[in-house]
């Protein structure tokens, strides 16, 4: 990716990057799947990374009998209620000390920070882990119509930061998130599972490596 700007803003996915709530998602979806008699396992759960709640439900229901839109909405709401109950156990102790240190350092360097997440619970999670004040903007499932790999969530985040996509980096752990970043014209950084994705502009293995973006000129 050839961009002629210094990085002025960094947009982070939330789940799997800032904090890990994968197990809570899994447990909530597993409860729903078991109740309606649909197969659900870790492999299927991995397909839900970076995907909206309703699209996740569609994946889970692929081999199920037809379900009406009203039933899908009810199942989605039920899953979210279970998930939010599980989220109540989250605290600042669930955030790696490196994350808080790096975010603090980025703020000192006048880098604008945002969350770009398909989750509608992003604000609640940030409040639970006491990181709300670190972010200048939050773009999440409450202000978008299309989830990743569509770039809408990141484009909205950049708009909230008053920056061009080319001035922002996106840090993602999901392939769909990297695809979304690339589609939106952002500099993409793969961490976790996405560090193995060849489409990522930069691949990192520790959150502390995010600091490299503060001096990156491309």
Candidate list 15, 150, 173, 179, residue with the active-site label = 15
The domain made up of 22-87 is a member of CATH 1.10.150.240: yes
Candidate list 13, 140, 173, 179, residue with the active-site label = 13
Is the N-terminal amide bond of 182 cis, ω within 30° of 0? no
Q: Please state the pTM of the whole predicted model.
A: 0.87
Model pLDDT for residues 124-182, shown as the tens digit of each residue:
999 999 999 999 999 999 999 998 999 999 999 999 999 999 999 999 999 999 999 99
Q: Which of 22-31, 68-77, 93-102, 208-217 has the lowest mean pLDDT?
A: 208-217
> What's the mean pLDDT in 36-46?
94
Domains 9-19+94-215 and 22-87 share a fold: no
Q: What 3 state SS string does the chain have?
A: CCCCCECCEEEECCECCCECCHHHHHHHHHHHHHHHCCCCCHHHHHCCCCCCHHHHHHHHCCCCCCCCHHHHHHHHHHHHHHHHHHHCCCCHHHCCHHHHHHHHHHHHCCCEEEEECCCCCHHHHHHHCCCHHHCCEEECCCCCCCCCCCCHHHHHHHHHHCCCHHHEEEEECCHHHHHHHHHHCCEEEECHHHHHCCCCCEECCCHHHHHHHHHCEC
| 1 — pLDDT class (breaks 50, 70, 90) | very low
What's the CATH fold of domain 9-19+94-215?
A: Rossmann fold (3.40.50)
13 flagged as catalytic: yes
90 contact partners, CB below 8 Å, separation of at least 6: 19, 21, 125, 128, 129
| 187 — pLDDT class (breaks 50, 70, 90) | very high
Domain ranges of the chain: 9-19+94-215, 22-87
| 52 — pLDDT class (breaks 50, 70, 90) | confident
d(CA 176, CA 162): 24
Q: What are phi and psi of 69, to 5 degrees?
A: -60, -35
């Amino acid at each position: 990716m050839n961009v002629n700007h210094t990085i002025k803003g960094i947009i982070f996915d939330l789940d799997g990057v800032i904090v890990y709530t994968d197990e809570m998602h899994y447990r909530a979806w597993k409860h729903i799947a078991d109740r309606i008699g649909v197969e659900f396992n870790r492999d299927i759960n991995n397909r839900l990374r970076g995907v909206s709640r309703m699209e996740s439900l569609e994946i889970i229901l692929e081999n199920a009998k037809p379900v009406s839109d009203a039933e899908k909405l009810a199942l989605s709401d039920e899953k979210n209620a279970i998930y939010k109950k599980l989220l109540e156990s989250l605290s600042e102790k669930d955030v790696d000390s490196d994350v808080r240190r790096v975010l603090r350092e980025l703020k000192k360097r006048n880098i604008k920070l945002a969350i770009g997440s398909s989750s509608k619970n992003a604000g609640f999670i940030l409040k639970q882990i006491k990181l709300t004040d670190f972010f200048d903007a939050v773009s999440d499932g409450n202000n978008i119509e299309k989830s990743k790999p569509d770039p809408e969530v990141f484009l909205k985040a950049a708009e909230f930061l008053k920056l061009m996509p080319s001035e922002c980096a996106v840090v993602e752990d999901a392939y769909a998130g990297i695809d979304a970043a690339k589609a939106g014209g952002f500099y993409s950084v793969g961490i976790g599972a996405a560090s193995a994705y060849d489409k990522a502009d930069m691949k990192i293995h520790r959150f502390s490596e995010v600091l490299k973006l503060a001096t990156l000129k491309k």
